Chain A
Amino acid sequence: MTEATITLNVSRFRPAEDVEPATRAYSVPMHRDWVVLDALNHIKDHIDGSLSFRWSCRMGVCGSCGMMVNGEPKLTCSVFLRDYYPGEIRVEPLVNFPVLRDLVVDISAFLDKLQKVQPWIVRDEEKPAADGEYLQTPDQLDRYKGFTACINCMLCYSACPIFGLETDFIGPAALALAHRYNEDSRDKGAAQRWNVINDHHGAWQCTFVGECSVACPKHVDPAAAIQRLKVDTAKRWMRSVLLPWGRK
């Protein structure tokens, strides 16, 4: 009995050799417990070793394997072949980023944006270790906990048409992480993040399409974070205008 197969139409592109990406069809064994990443690894191991793609943990926590699957930004380790079978599966590199090779995109612009928001606890002074831990109430933790789940997979950037139109837009993940740290009671860095957030390419460029939150595999809800940043920034701005002698 012949084994069941499923067809993957994969985007291939060799830099400095190909002018445009082209789609190549691959027939892969159909397994009910395989994800798209398994199929890609099968292609690389048994059909075409030159296929290039990023992956690591296989379990949806590292954020490496983001690609377009039938036109939707997905973590390929988290989408099952059985949800598309017997239809064909189109695998393409994440949109809104330049393609480096095959399914690999250049993420350096994203990494720059991430650094700009200073996604770490910012404090003038650290508490000495002998004084013990920083304490947080459940309410204080609740303010930012959801936004800590970001795995930097960039699916939100592919989902965001505003980022697609204007690649200088700092984008959903960076803003969500800025909000995560601003809301953390241990952090004192809101003023330092201000100029990045309160910028034409910061929170103000977002027009609340909301697709970033739909695409996010970790339910971070960057759209909510960005709108809250707008509210916080508008309040701070109003205070700085109406009460210029107030706190910095």
Chain B
Amino acid sequence: MHGRKTLEPFWWGLFSAGGVVAAFFVPAHVLLQGIAVPLDWIPDAPELLRLWPVRLYLFVLISLPLFHWAHRFYFTLIDIGLKPLRAPLALLCYGGAFAGTGIAAWILLRL
């Protein structure tokens, strides 16, 4: 029988998916929107960001890596000795990922 007493497989699955998205997609955006556009190497494209498929892409780009961070950072904090604080840390990390996802959805809807 497959016991379901722990939800770790679920969080780990999100962590993995988020890791793939972060690995393949995030660096380009950091370079593009964080450095190239502000320094005028490449012109900005705000109308592009308003397209619905792009908004959906941005939602995935933000949400999944946030869950990647949540799971990974939570375990990192435990590893450096903060285990006694694991309940508030879990709330901070996973709660932060949920909050970030909700806020991202709201921001993308009002673009």
Contacts and interface: CB of A to CB of B under 8 A. Distances in A.
A and B co-occur in one complex: yes
Nearest to A235: B9
Interface in B1-44: 1-6, 8-10, 12-13, 16
A194 B3 contact: yes
Closest 3 CB pairs of A and B: A237-B9, A204-B8, A240-B2
Contacts of B12: 204, 230, 234
- A interface residue count range (under 10 / 10 to 19 / 20 to 34 / 35 or more): 20 to 34
A13 B83 CA distance: 31
Contacts, number: 47
Contacts of A191: 1-2
Given A234-B13, A238-B13, A204 B6 contact: yes
Contacts of A166: 83
Given A198-B3, A237-B2, A248-B2, A207 B79 contact: yes
B79 A198 contact: no
A112 B9 CA distance: 25
B83 A165 contact: yes
A200 interface: yes
B30 to A, nearest CB: 24
B46 interface: no
Contacts of A238: 9, 13
A241 B76 contact: no
Contacts of B6: 198-200, 204
Interface of B: 1-6, 8-10, 12-13, 16, 75-76, 78-79, 81, 83
A163 to B, nearest CB: 12
A236 interface: yes
A75 to B, nearest CB: 27
B4 A240 contact: yes
Nearest to B16: A234
A233 interface: yes
A146 interface: no
Nearest to A204: B8
Contacts of A248: 1-2
Nearest to A200: B6
A241 B1 contact: no
A161 interface: yes
A237 B81 contact: no
Interface string A215-248: 0000000000000001001101110110000001
A234 B2 CA distance: 11
Contacts of B1: 191, 194, 248
B9 A233 contact: yes
Interface in A193-218: 194-195, 198-200, 204, 207
Contacts of A61: none
Contacts of A240: 2, 4
Nearest to B9: A237
A162 interface: yes
Nearest to A248: B1
